[in-house]
Chains A and B, each alone.
Chain A
Amino acid sequence: MLIAKNISKKFSGVIALANISMELHPGKVNAIIGENGAGKSTLMKIFSGVHTQYEGEIFFNNKLVKFKSTKEAEDAGISIIHQELNLVPHLSIAENIFLGRELTNSLGMVKAKLMNEKTTELLSKLNLNIDPATKIAALKVGQQQLVEIAKALYTNAEVIIMDEPTSAISDKEVDNLFAIINQLKSEGKIIVYISHKFKELFAIADRYVVLRDGSTIDSGNINEITQDQLIHKMTGRNIRENKRSSSVKDQPVLFSAKNITLNHSLFKSKKVLNNISFELHNGEILGVYGLMGAGRTELMECIFGLHPKNGSGEISIGTEVQKIKCPADAMAAGIALVPEDRKLHGLIINQSIRFNISISVLETLQKWGLLLSAGKENSLSENYINKLSIKTASDNHLAKTLSGGNQQKIVLAKWLATHPQVLLLDEPTRGIDINAKAEIYELMKTLAAEGMGIIIVSSELPEILTVADNILVMTEGELTANIPIEEATEAIILKHAIHKN
C-alpha cells in the first residue's frame, strides 16, 4: 500500500499541494481525478522522486520513504509513465529498457544478446511481438507506451503511475492497454491512473481520489459514485457572481473563423482541430476552455498563421476574408497573439524591456526609412510602461530581471503597440500573482470597451467566468459548446469539456 500523509508543496511561494492525504491500494486501479492545476502532476512527481522538497510523509509498504531521486523511487518499486514518453528515439527497445542498468560481463562489455532475449520475454507478456532491436522512433505511440510499461515491469515496479496514458493512442490500443492493466492488477500491483476521460475511468478504475486546488476532496469506490457527482466534486467552488453583463451580440461581427481544421503534422489522417467555426463581435471577450490536449493553443496558432501547411479554413475581419500564411499576415490583418509560454515564445529574455516592446513595430519607429529613432522608441516604451504600470526603474533593464507578471505585461505591451483589432491571449495569467492577474483582467475589460475583440484561452474556469462574454468549449479538437455567460456555470462548461461518451 502507498500512503500519502499531509503532503504539502509550494513553488516559489505558490501553494501547489495543501495537506493531501490518500491511500493507494494494491491490486486496484486508483484513479486520480481533478481539473488542470488541481495538483495531480505535482503529487505524482513527489511519489516518483522528481520533486524532493515537500512537507508530509509517504509510507510505502508500511515504511516511511523519502526519495532523493527518480532512481531511488524506481529502485524502491515506483515507476511513472509520463504523458510525454521518456524514451530515446534512436536507441532500440532493448537499449531503452536497459538504459542505465545495462547487463554487462566482467569486462564491462554489454551483453546485447541477453538483453534482447529478456526484452522479447517482457514484450511477449504485453502481447507486443516486435524485434527488440527495433528503434523507438519506428514505433507507434501506443507501442512506445507498452515499452515504457515493459520497462516498469523489468524493474519489478510495484506501483505503476500512468499519466494520461490514452491521450495519444487509438481505441484498439486502449483496449489492449486495459487488458494489460487488468493483468498487472491481478498480480497485485498498485496502478495509479490519471485521466480526464470519464468513460475510461469508469471502465478501468476501482477506486477514485478527487483533488481540487491542491487538496484531497473525496475518495472511495468508483462504482459508488456517478459522473455528475464526480464533476461536482472536481469543481465545487463557490459560484462567483461577478460575471460580466454585456450585450455584445448586438455589436457587428468583428472577426469570424470558418471551418478551421488542422491535420496532425505526422499522421495526416488525424485531426488536431476539426471544422471549428465561430464569431467574435466588437468589444467581445470570448473565453476558450478545454482540458489538456483539446487544441486550444493550436486554434490560436492557426488563426495567427503558424500552421500554413497543415491548417485550413477561413479567417475574416469584418466581411473581408484574410489570407493568413504567416504571423506577419496576421499582424497586417490586425490580429495579435500573446502566446502561452512567454519565456519560450513571447520574450527575448536577454534583451531590454524597450527592445521587446518595440520589436513588432520597428517600421513605425524609423526615420528616413532607415534609421531607428531612439526618441520615438523611448516614447513608445515609456507610454506602455505607464499604461500597463510595468514596475521597473528603466526600460533599459533586461526582461529577465522582471517578475512573471511584469514580463507578461511586456508581451502585452508589444502586441498592443501593433494596435490590433483582435487580441488573442493564450493563458495570459499563468504563473503570475493575483494583483497582476487583476490588472490584466481590468486591462482586457478596458480594451473591450474601446471596441477591441479579445479571445482568451484559459484552463482556469473562474478566470473564464470572470472575464468572458461568451465561452467556447473544446474537446479533442472539436468545438463542443458555445455558451453565453448568463447560462455558464463551471459544471456546465466542464461537462462539455469532458470527452463525449
Chain B
Amino acid sequence: MTVANLKYSKSLSKFQSLIALLILCIVLSILTDKFFTAENGLNVLRQIAVNICISVGMTLVVLTAGIDLSVGSVLALCSAVTAGLLKNGIEIPAGNLWIGFTLLGAVLAGLLLGFLLGCFNGFAITKFNVPPFVATLAMLTIARGFTMLYTKGHPISNLGDSFAFIGTGWLFGIPVPVYIAAVVVLVAVFITQKTKIGRYIYAIGGNEQAAKLSGINIKKVKITVYAIAGALAALGGVIVASRLDSAQPNAGISYELDAIAAVVIGGTSLSGGKGSVWGTVMGAIIIGVLNNGLVLLNVSPFWQQVVKGSVILLAVIIDKAGESKD
C-alpha cells in the first residue's frame, strides 16, 4: 500500500463511526418520513443522554484497560437515595432528629454516593488486585441489594416539579438532559485531551509497566477513573428518576451493557490505551438512532435486539480489520 493510500485509509478509519452514522441516517430518512425532523432528532438525543453520561465514564475506565459492570446498580442506588433524601430527608430516631434536603443538596448527595461507590471499586482493584471485572461485578450485586434495602422494593415517587425539570424540562428549545450530557462530554474531552490525568489514563491503558516506571501513580489514577464513572452513573440516575418522577428499584438494569456497547462501537479498545470520548458519543448516537429508526419502521422489539447485537459485532470486526492492515 502506498503512503498516500495508507494515510487515506487511516483518516477514513478515524471517521468510520461518523460515516456509519451518516449512512444510517440517510437510509432511515429515505425509509421513513418521521426520522429526519428536528423533533425526532431532539427526541433521540434526550433518550441517549443517560447512556452518554454512563458511557463517558465507562470510556475512561476502559481506556485504563478496566471495565465497570456496576454502573447500572450504582445508578439505581444513587437515584433512590437522591429521591429518598429529597422526599423524606434523613430521620434519626435516637435524637428525634430530621434532616431535610434541598434539591441541590439531594442531587449532590446522590452524586457523592456514586463517587464513593466508584472509589470503593477502584480501591478494591488497586489495593487488593481484584480484577476489575470481578470487583465491579460484586458491586453490581451489592449496590442493587442496597437499593432494594433502601427502597424496600417500592418506587419512591412524586418528587416535585423542580426536580422533574432536570429530566423533562426544556431550555431554548432543547431538552435539559441534552445540556447535561453535552457538559459531561465536553468536560471529559477536555480531561482526556488536555490534562495530565488524561495522558496518564492513556499511558496506563497503553502500557501499565511503562507508566509505572515513568513515575505515574497508577493507583491514584485508577481510583479516580472509577470514581468518575460512579459519579456519572449517579448523574444518569438523577436524570432517570427525574424523568419518571420516580426512583425505581429496578432502574438501570443492563445499562452497563449499553454503555460498553457505545464504547466498543465508538472504537475504544477493551484492552485499553486506545479510543476516545468522541468515539463513544458516536457509538451512543448510533445505538440511539438505530433504536429510534427500528421503532419508526415498526420493527419488532425482538428483532431490535438482534440488530443491535449484530451492529456491535460488525463494528468491532471492521475495527480489527483496519488494525491488521498496519
Q: Which A residues lie at the B interface, using CB under 8 A?
A: 304, 306, 326-328, 330-331, 337, 339, 344-351, 355, 358-360, 362-363, 366, 370-372, 414
Contacts and interface: CB of A to CB of B under 8 A. Distances in A.
Interface in B192-216: 194-196, 199-200, 202-203, 206-207, 209-216
Given A331-B215, A337-B213, A360-B214, A348 B203 contact: yes
* Residue from B194, B203, B215 having most chain A Cβ neighbours under 10 A: B215
Contacts of A370: 195
A351 B206 contact: yes
Contacts of A349: 206-207
Interface of B: 194-196, 199-200, 202-203, 206-207, 209-217, 273-274
A371 B194 contact: yes
A60 B195 CA distance: 63
Contacts of A348: 202-203, 206-207, 210-211, 273
A331 B217 CA distance: 12
A359 B207 contact: no
Given A345-B210, A347-B210, A359-B199, A327 B215 contact: yes
A360 B200 CA distance: 10
A243 B24 CA distance: 69
B65 to A, nearest CB: 12
Given A327-B214, A371-B195, 9 more contacts: A327-B215, A328-B215, A331-B215, A349-B207, A355-B203, A358-B199, A359-B199, A360-B215, A362-B196
Contacts of B203: 348, 351, 355, 359
A360 B199 CA distance: 10
A351 B195 CA distance: 16
Contacts of B214: 327, 359-360, 414
Contacts of B211: 348, 359
A328 B217 contact: yes
A366 B196 contact: yes
B190 to A, nearest CB: 8
Contacts of B209: 344-345
Contacts of A363: 196
30 contacts: A327-B212, A327-B214, A328-B217, A330-B215, A344-B209, A344-B210, A345-B209, A345-B210, A346-B210, A347-B210, A348-B202, A348-B211, A349-B207, A350-B206, A350-B273, A351-B202, A351-B203, A351-B206, A355-B203, A359-B199, A359-B216, A360-B215, A362-B199, A363-B196, A371-B194, A372-B194, A372-B195, A372-B196, A372-B199, A414-B214
A326 B211 CA distance: 12
Contacts of B213: 304, 306, 327, 337, 339, 345-346
Contacts of B195: 370-372
B209 to A, nearest CB: 5
B213 to A, nearest CB: 5
B206 to A, nearest CB: 4
A366 B197 CA distance: 12
A362 B209 CA distance: 18
A345 B207 CA distance: 8
A355 B202 contact: yes
A355 B207 CA distance: 13
Contacts of A344: 207, 209-210
A331 B215 CA distance: 7
* Residue from A304, A327, A331, A414 having most chain B Cβ neighbours under 10 A: A327
Nearest to A400: B326
Nearest to B269: A350
A358 B215 CA distance: 12
A493 B215 CA distance: 34
A370 B195 CA distance: 6
A306 B196 CA distance: 23
B108 to A, nearest CB: 22
A348 B202 CA distance: 9
B63 to A, nearest CB: 12
A349 B202 CA distance: 11
A44 B235 CA distance: 61
A355 B215 contact: no
A301 to B, nearest CB: 9
B215 to A, nearest CB: 4
Given A328-B217, A344-B209, A345-B210, A351 B196 contact: no
Nearest to A411: B210
Q: Which 4 A-B pairs have the closest CB atoms?
A: A348-B206, A328-B215, A362-B196, A360-B214
A371 B194 CA distance: 6
A372 B190 CA distance: 10
B223 to A, nearest CB: 16
B143 to A, nearest CB: 32
Nearest to A341: B209
Contacts of B273: 348, 350-351
A344 B216 CA distance: 16
A424 B56 CA distance: 40
Given A366-B196, A371-B194, A372-B195, A347 B207 contact: yes
Contacts of B202: 348, 351, 355
A350 B199 contact: no
A482 B199 CA distance: 42
A363 B194 CA distance: 12
A331 B216 CA distance: 11
Contacts of A330: 215
Contacts of A331: 215
Contacts of B199: 355, 358-359, 362, 372
A350 B212 CA distance: 17
Contacts of B206: 348-351
B141 to A, nearest CB: 27
A256 B202 CA distance: 35
A350 B272 CA distance: 11
B71 to A, nearest CB: 26
A339 B199 CA distance: 21
Contacts of A328: 215-217
B261 to A, nearest CB: 23
B193 to A, nearest CB: 8
A326 B202 CA distance: 21
A337 B206 CA distance: 19
A269 to B, nearest CB: 25
A363 to B, nearest CB: 7
* Residue from B202, B214, B216 having most chain A Cβ neighbours under 10 A: B214
A414 B203 CA distance: 13
B235 to A, nearest CB: 22
